[in-house]
């Protein structure tokens, strides 16, 4: 079975994730830090930005693939994919050392939770309807 819509957003999100990962790797190399971050707060921030991405995106993509496999409308899938992509770009920009209430952090967090919730509800509806 093919998942062209999920594949599109997975590839775009992979680019975001790889960008965050490369930033962490470069900062670790420059600081000479292998594990954790020492006292380098910029490295700690980069690690947290990447970590949050890795914690949140896989579940959303798994749900998207399940919903797509079960025949969801392409508009629903694209809408959730676009929101997730925008949210995951906004979140690391808004995640700063000095401001917990940055608007882009909120856009990223709320957008990601909303997409995950919508896709989870649709997946549950599809599963219950098939039983």
CATH number for position 62: 1.20.120.550
Q: What is the pLDDT of residue 38?
A: 72
pLDDT value of position 35: 82
Range(s) of the domain holding residue 125: 4-130
Residues 6+ apart with CB under 8 A from 21: 50
Structure tokens at 29: 């190399």
Reported pTM = 0.95
Spell out, as residue ranges, where the chain has pLDDT lower than 50.
Answer: none
73 and 94 Cβ atoms separated by less than 8 Å: no
Domain count, the chain: 1
**How far apart, in whole angstroms, are the C-alpha atoms of residue 129 and residue 62?**
19
Q: What's the pLDDT at 124?
A: 98
């Amino acid at each position: 079975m093919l998942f062209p819509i999920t594949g599109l957003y997975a590839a775009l999100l992979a680019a975001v994730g790889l960008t965050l990962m490369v930033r962490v790797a470069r900062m670790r190399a420059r600081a000479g830090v292998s594990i954790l971050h020492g006292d380098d707060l910029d490295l700690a921030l980069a690690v947290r930005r990447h970590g949050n991405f890795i914690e949140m995106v896989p579940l959303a993509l798994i749900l998207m693939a399940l919903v797509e496999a079960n025949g969801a409308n392409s508009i629903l899938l694209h809408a959730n994919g676009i929101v997730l992509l925008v949210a995951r770009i906004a979140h690391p920009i808004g995640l700063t050392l000095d401001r917990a209430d940055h608007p882009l952090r909120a856009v990223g967090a709320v957008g990601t939770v909303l997409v995950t919730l919508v896709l989870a509800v649709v997946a549950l509806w599809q599963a219950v309807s098939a039983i």
